[in-house]
Amino acid sequence: MGEWGIGATSLEYAPVGFGDHHWIAVGGAGKKWFVTVADLELKGEQDSHAALRNLRGAMDTAAALRDEGHLDFVVAPLRAAGGETVRRLGPRYALSVFPFLDGTPGDFDRPWTSRDRGAVLELLAELHRQAPPASVPVLDLELSMRGLLQSALDGAIRGGRGPFAEPARTLLSGHAPAILRRVEEFDRLVEDLSRSDSAPVLTHGEPHPGNLLQCEGRHLLVDWDTVGLAPPERDLWSVALSPEDLKRYAEATGRTVNASALTLYRLRWDLEEVSIYIDWFRAPHDRSSDTEEAWQGLLETVAHLSEVSRS
């Protein structure tokens, strides 16, 4: 980590987050850094080169928002001596270094409090008003792994070496008709939104409680690897939970929230989750805390898609 000027005297694994790996590096005089190693094979891209390219675009955008846009709620990576925010580590992994912030992290499974929800809506309104840096990824409405999802629902994906491969195949086979109906609904919503003239904005992508950090009385947003140019509803569907929330956002931005777009992104989240889990379980894997969590996530998401389909 010398490219970041870090002469660490100790490195402690931090068991936080899901998918990527994290450490706390401690240097002289007790200075700390938060070190992240991203697993490029779990980023939902066609190959590691595309995953690395998109990760660099996202991290460069976060750094620009913090340094040039002066958005102090953006927990952005530090730049190495050559200006990079991401360094490749072999064929599968990539390294980023962040400032260590001594705050209270959120929890993905914790329900929103009205205070946190209001604070995040204010942050999102500020982000959505920001001019996009040149590095920002431009996002498509379509599902990122549409072909994989369709193949799995058609029963065309078999085999897989790991404890969850066959259970995942059986689960999807039993719920395929319901999920296919949700895919058809998604396609209709995409077609409707594509005909609108709403301008895209800078979006975080996953502003849920697990990506919220409370530090010195402020709310900060972490995990900017999903940042991208998209309709604002990409951020709002999980945060704006009441008419009052929507009104508050509209007053702060001058934008009217599209109810159909909220439904689209709520549905897209579930379909993308299923695709990601399928991608995990079709590859060789072992039983671990991550794969156990992924299996529970697949069970819950499939159940939700099926339940909504019947309602």
Domains of the chain plus CATH, in order, are 1-100 (3.30.200.20), 105-311 (3.90.1200.10)
How many residues comprise the chain? 311
**pLDDT given for residue 47 in this prediction:** 79
Question: Could you count the other beta carbons within 10 Å of the beta carbon of residue 115?
Answer: 9
pLDDT for 53 equals 92
State pLDDT tens for residues 238-254: 999 999 999 999 999 99
What pLDDT is stored for residue 200 in this prediction? 94
pLDDT score for 8: 67
pTM: 0.91
Helix residue spans in the chain (DSSP H): 48-67, 114-129, 146-153, 165-194, 233-236, 243-253, 259-282, 289-310
Rounded mean pLDDT for each run of 10 residues along the chain, 311 residues in total: 77 80 87 91 78 94 94 95 93 93 85 88 96 93 92 81 92 95 97 89 95 91 95 96 93 94 96 93 89 94 86 57
Per-residue pLDDT at 1: 65
pLDDT at 72: 94
Give the Cα-Cα-Cα angle 177, 181, 185 (nearest 5 degrees). Answer: 170
Give the pLDDT of residue 109.
Answer: 79
The reported pLDDT for the residue numbered 102 is: 87
Radius of gyration of the chain (CA): 20
* 98 touches 36 (CB < 8 A): yes
- Asked if residues 296 and 68 have their Cβ atoms less than 8 Å apart, the reply is no
Which of 37-54 are b and which e, b meaning 16 or more Cβ less than 10 Å from the residue's Cβ?
Answer: ebebbbbbbeebeebbeb
